[in-house]
Structure 1
Amino acid sequence: MWPWCAIVSQSLQKHQFGGVVRSYTFQNNCVAVTVTAERYQDMIRNFLVLETEEQGLEDMWLQQDGTTAHTARSTIQLLNDVFPRRLISRSGDLAWPVRSPDLTAPDFSLWGF
């Protein structure tokens, strides 16, 4: 299965860990599927937007890596609509280098989840 999850910081200045946005699994009839731009965009519209509203995270920034599904033109346009001036990504408001070691935070922060 292809899981997706987000780490939330309460304070960027103090680097306080705020929690985790509930995980999402890319699957169809309990079978893992390839994460395409369309599937990623469906997850953003039908899951991430609702989760951020429910948790009161409307002003959060989104940081993502440079995979094709994340950086497709249609995905970037959607993310710019959902996170105006708060997108950290290739072609985002704050450019983020591909293979940045700073994107490994989930590798070390999500073990308990």
Structure 2
Amino acid sequence: MMQAYGQLSSHPHKNVTPMDTHLIQNEIVRKAFEAWQRADTAAWFSYFTPDATLLDDGHPRDFQKFSTEAIGRERFTRLDKVEADGTHLYGQFHSDTWGNFKTYFKFRLTPEGKIEQLEIGQADY
């Protein structure tokens, strides 16, 4: 289990709940998710191809810029469901900028086991 929070900042994160990341069956996705949650940018990037792409609600965005800006300021507060052999994650999410909402992270991996695409967006489930 790991705690669901990012880097400590000027405000305390209340109601931090443990998440059982073993629900994420895909080991690469689980490790990337855990890196995101603990705000470990270097580890996060290590699971992706150098030319990884990002789709945000279906719109292309700069993956490197998004990751650098969001890690430590955005995090899952609860993992609600895992689908597609552990590559699609849905849960409650907190953004220091946008507040709290349901979101999804969908990871697409290469045959070699690196993440080549991340799709993110607001979820409706």
Relative to the length of structure 2, the TM-score reads 0.26
The structure with more helix, counted as a fraction of residues: 1
The structure with more strand, counted as a fraction of residues: 2
